[in-house]
Amino acid sequence: MALQEAILVALTHGTASGYDLAKTFDVSVANYWSATAQQLYRELDRMAASGLVSAEMVEQERRPNKRIYSLTPAGRAALRESTTRTPKPTAIRDELLVQVEAIDHGDTDSVRAFIHERLASSRAKLARYERRREGMLDGGSEAHFLQTARRIGPYLTLARGIAFERENISWFEMVLAATAEKSIDADQT
């Protein structure tokens, strides 16, 4: 169900095609939910059938035709109603964590290599998020933004994403330090 809600919120920012949403879900929405393009196309179909979104075909000249979706009043109502339903508890689910748990029975060097990869990708994500944050704050303070902005939801979830990536980075560094002696290759952080 949460995929539906994530799509509904995304559409509050304006109309979008399935393709647009797929890109959005890769950057900003990935902060709190993720989905593949195929899931989105399937879900948008269903939602159009149940009247939560309306689809308008837009023919383009030098590009394939688009199906532009927008929120209907029913969609807005569903979104509002969805915030009153108890959200499922969440936990971390990460294959890399499973590997780290198994590190004493596995191949330390390859796990360390995967951590190096994640470290790079977390740093890149963090940089992107922080640029977005700066853009939102627009020179002002966080307190000022939170008091005056007409929408604070996207800022709050972005803050969660930033904290998450910071934590990832420092945990990765800790794991690399803790496994350094057990590794053959020198530690190039």
Residue span 133-152 as binding mask against a second copy, x where in contact by CB under 8 A, dash where not? -------------xx--xxx
Name the residues that contact DNA, by CB under 7 A: 1-3, 17-20, 22-23, 34-39, 41-42, 44-45, 60, 62-68, 88, 93
CB closer to DNA out of 60 and 148 = 60
Residue pointed to by tokens 């149940």: 50
On whether the CB atoms of residues 97 and 118 are closer than 8 A, the answer is no
Name the helix (H) or strand (E) containing 163. helix 153-178
Among DNA, a second copy, none, residue 178 binds (CB under 5-8 Å by kind): a second copy
Q: What is the largest CA-CA distance in the chain?
A: 61
Residue from 36, 140, 170, 187 touching a second copy (CB under 8 A): that is: 170
CA distances from 129 to 8, 41, 153 (A): 22, 27, 15
Residue from 42, 67, 76, 116 touching a second copy (CB under 8 A): that is: 76
Return the residues of window 33-72 that contact a second copy according to CB under 8 A. 33-34
Q: What is the DSSP letter of 181?
A: T
Residue from 60, 64, 88, 185 touching a second copy (CB under 8 A): that is: 88
Rounded CA-CA distance 68/138 in Å is 30
